Every structure is written in C-alpha cells, then in structure tokens.
Structure 1
Amino acid sequence: MKNSVRCNNCSTENPFYLLTCENCKAFLRTKVPNIDFWHTTSKLFESPVKAAELLIHADHKNFLLTVIILAALKISLTAGILSNVFSGGEGSLQNIFVALSSLPISFILLMLAWSVLMTLILKITGVKSRFKDNLAIYSYSFIPIIFTLIILTPVEYALFGQYWFSFNPTPFAIKYIPSIVLSIIEGIFIVWSMFLAICATYAQSRSLFFSILIGALFLIVTVGIPVYLAYVLNNPV
C-alpha cells in the first residue's frame, strides 16, 4: 500500500498528512487549521473519503473529545440494552446504569488502543500515519450512531419508557411495528458507521480490500467488546 503526495517543486514523495515537503519545504496542500464540525459532518454525507482527508489535514482536532464522549455514551447504552436482550427476559434498568457508569471509560481506552494499533499496522504496510489522525477519523465515523443518541433515543423512550432499555417485557410485545422500525433504523445507522470507518481507512491506505476488512473489524471490536463487557458485568459467574 502507498498513500503519499509528490511535491510539485522537487518531486519528493511525502506522507499524505504533511503540509510542507520534507525536502524543500514547499507547500503540498492548503492549510487546514481547524475542523469545521458542520462542514465536516455534511462531507460525511456527500463524500466520506474527502471528509476523512479533511480530518487528517486539520492541525487542531477540535470537537474530537465531544465526539468520543457522545460515542462512548451511545455505545455503552447500546451495550447495556443488548446485555438485557441476552439475559433472557431478566433485564432491568439497573443493568443500564451499570453499563453507563462502567463502560464509557473502557470505550475511550479502546478507541485509543485501536488508533495506536492502526498507526502500527499502517506503518508495517508502508503507510506513514499519525496517531491523532487515526483517532480523529475513526471517532468521527461514529457520527451516525451519535445522531441516534440525540434523535432516536428520546423517541424510543417516549414510545416505550423504561421497557425499550430493560427489555422486561420486550418492547416488541408492547408495540411491534414501531419496535421493528426503530430497530431497523438503529441497524442502518450502525452499518453506516461501519461504511464511514471503511472510508476513513481508505483515506489512509488507498486499498479497498484492506479498508473493508479493517472497517468491519473496527465495528466488531468497538461495539462487540462493550456488549460482551456489559453482559459479563450484569451476569457475573
């Protein structure tokens, strides 16, 4: 794999993230001082790879902490709900409180570890990247899931109250059609986040097969591990 930019002045190959040529210091691209949140978010709809490139090129990864925290809350909430689903009808709101109090920090640590790992993997495959860039592009891939936290979660609570979270009884037994529709929408947004993770990886690697593999693995790791931890916390041996 190779993702570099050639200097127009001296023809030196430079890492994609650089602003100026390593050899002659000529400018390689337009300077991007900060992340414009709404512009970048709209880019995630229009051109996800370009959005990832903007995140990589931004000098200051502003809004990154907010995005990570919101993603941590949504993933932790989802993990708590799924742990109740897997508990065979014995779920409770207590399990949700346990997930929300215990898992966000674990998720943040998981994101940091993933970004370190991707920096090393890309280096091994011949692509120079930076930890902060990888953290930014993979964190922003959770924007669709964050939208479900802000928009869908209040709707779910309004329709089902505590039963959407506790699954005791299951919301499908209360209002079947709305439960199906909301579950499908949640699933679509999760798949969308995986697609953005694939695009983020492609922006770094320029390898489609590698990007699909890493994007799928990213979703499995960042969603699957919190769900497993929530289940273990709520169902101790």
Structure 2
Amino acid sequence: MIKNFQTCFNCKHENPLYSLTCNKCNAYLRTKIPNLDFWEITWKLFYEPTNTFIKIIQSEKKNYLALISFLFVIRFSVIDFIINNYKVHFFYKELKSYYDSLLTSLLILIITFIASYLITFLFNFLKTKTRVKDNFSIIIFSSIPNILAFIFLVPFQIALFGHYWFTVNPPPTIIKPLASYIFYIFELIFIAWNIILTFIAIKTQTNHIIYSLLITFLYYSLIFLIMFL
C-alpha cells in the first residue's frame, strides 16, 4: 500500500492530494488554486519541482495544457525525425518523412494519455486516489524545460547547420564538430532532465520511489522503443 494524502486539521481525516475540502467534515484543506501561471510554473520546475507538481495537481484549470501538448508533439516528432535520419545514414533503414515522425509523436501522446489511465487505476488499487487529468498534466508539464530548450536551440542549430541538423546528410559532426557536440550535449541534458522531472512528478503523486522509478522506466522505454525501431 502506498499513501500520499492531506490530513484535515479539523477531523484528522485523510484526503486525496487534489482535494480542496475535507471529504468528511468539509473543512478547507488548502488555498484554492483556480489556474496556473505558465512562467511561474516553468521557472519553479527548475528549483522546486515537487511543490510545482503539487500546484499543478491542485489547480482547478490545467490551462496551457493544450499548448504544451501541441509543443510536446512537435518536440518528439523532431527527435524521432533526427533519429530516423541517423538510422538511414548508419544502418541503411528506410527513410521516413517528417509526417511519419509526426504520427509517431502523436502515438506517443496517445500512449501518455493511456498511461495516465493505467497509473490512475494502479494508484487507486494501492489506496492512493488520483485523477487521470492530474496524471496526464504532470507528465506533459514535466516536458516544459525540454520543449523550451528545443525552442531556444533550434534557431542556432538552423543558423549553423541549416537543414542538415535534421537530415544529417552529411552529419552535423562533420560540418562543425565542436558546435554539434555542444548542441548534442545540451539536447541530452534536457532530455535527461525531462525524464527526471517525470520521475519527480509521479513520486509527488505516489510518495513511493520504487513505483515511481518503475513507471518512469517503463514509460520512457516504450517511447524510445517506438522511436528506435
């Protein structure tokens, strides 16, 4: 059994993390959070991610979720497209168009939504009540630093490498070795940070390290398997 709850100061009843009022005595458990401030959430993901994910969970409106989901699809479609071009260049795999990568990224978004349902079912079975929209939101919001890095890095990548950064024909490491390796390091750092934030997000819901590690590992293993096959 895993538990992560709010204890009512009035009656000591244990309530789900998302609750505004006590399920037993209706006393207020916390301050009402009507919506989210995008830049506040983005900034705080870097230095207090746990409290930030709690705020996302407790927010009545998950505003910006649609926008971030859209950028999530674009970001992962570009990653998939680059990986595919490397597979073509080094392993002589069949070349896919960007639209194929876009479909792959949409599949990843659908998998994320399905995973949110499965996580909710699992947590409820383990006596920790969660909601699908909260689980989906924290996974998507955990990709914000990765998305922002993509937005800020792409103009420089295009300026230095043009379309060769994406088509890798020839690879960027041949055109400008030092610059390309620096960009790759930045890309890997923010992808790794995305994965770490997902783990922290799930741990915020479960308060259990092992379950959070397992879910994060399975989720990203499936994503990378889809992109590398």
Q: TM-score, normalised by structure 2?
A: 0.92
| Residues 14-68 of structure 1: per-residue CA shift (max 9 Å, x gap) | 1111100111100011110101111111110111111100000000000001001
Equivalent residues in 2 for 1:94-113 (5 A)?
A: 95-100=97-102, 102-113=103-114
Q: Residue 22 of structure 2 contacts residue 28 of structure 2 at CA under 8 Å; is this kept in 1?
A: yes
Deviation of the 1:133 alpha carbon: 0.4
Deviation of the 1:91 alpha carbon: 8.3
One-letter identity of the residue aligned with 1:109: I
Q: 1:223 to 1:148 in 2, by over 3 A?
A: farther
Give the gaps of 5 or more residues in structure 1: 232-237
Equivalent residues in 2 for 1:1-237 (5 A)?
A: 1-89=2-90, 95-100=97-102, 102-225=103-226, 227-228=227-228
In 1, Cα distance between the equivalents of 2:116 and 2:105?
17
Deviation of the 1:168 alpha carbon: 1.2
Give the gaps of 5 or more residues in structure 2: none
One-letter identity of the residue aligned with 2:147: I
Deviation of the 1:70 alpha carbon: 0.1
In 1, Cα distance between the equivalents of 2:204 and 2:46?
15
Q: Residue 56 of structure 1 contacts residue 133 of structure 1 at CA under 8 Å; is this kept in 2?
A: yes
Q: 1:73 to 1:224 in 2, by over 3 A?
A: farther
Deviation of the 1:107 alpha carbon: 2.7
Q: 1:5 to 1:207 in 2, by over 3 A?
A: same
Task: Give the secondary structure class of the aligned counterpart of 1:10.
Answer: coil
One-letter identity of the residue aligned with 1:114: A
Task: Give the secondary structure class of the aligned counterpart of 1:18.
Answer: coil
Higher mean alpha-carbon deviation, 16-25 vs 149-158, is at 149-158
Q: 1:69 to 1:187 in 2, by over 3 A?
A: same
| Residues 143-180 of structure 1: per-residue CA shift (max 9 Å, x gap) | 12101221112211111111111111111111111111
Q: 1:165 to 1:91 in 2, by over 3 A?
A: farther
Deviation of the 1:114 alpha carbon: 1.4
Q: 1:93 to 1:87 in 2, by over 3 A?
A: closer
One-letter identity of the residue aligned with 2:100: V
Task: Give the secondary structure class of the aligned counterpart of 2:111.
Answer: helix
Q: Residue 16 of structure 2 contacts residue 129 of structure 2 at CA under 8 Å; is this kept in 1?
A: yes
Higher mean alpha-carbon deviation, 103-112 vs 65-74, is at 103-112
Deviation of the 1:105 alpha carbon: 2.7
Runs of 4+ in 1 over 6 A off after TM superposition: 91-94
Higher mean alpha-carbon deviation, 87-96 vs 132-141, is at 87-96
Task: Give the secondary structure class of the aligned counterpart of 1:186.
Answer: helix
Q: Residue 84 of structure 2 contacts residue 96 of structure 2 at CA under 8 Å; is this kept in 1?
A: no
Q: Residue 93 of structure 1 contacts residue 162 of structure 1 at CA under 8 Å; is this kept in 2?
A: no
Q: Residue 50 of structure 2 contacts residue 200 of structure 2 at CA under 8 Å; is this kept in 1?
A: yes
Q: Residue 73 of structure 1 contacts residue 104 of structure 1 at CA under 8 Å; is this kept in 2?
A: yes
> Matched residue pairs, number?
227
Q: Residue 84 of structure 1 contacts residue 95 of structure 1 at CA under 8 Å; is this kept in 2?
A: no
Task: Give the secondary structure class of the aligned counterpart of 1:5.
Answer: strand
Q: 1:194 to 1:94 in 2, by over 3 A?
A: closer
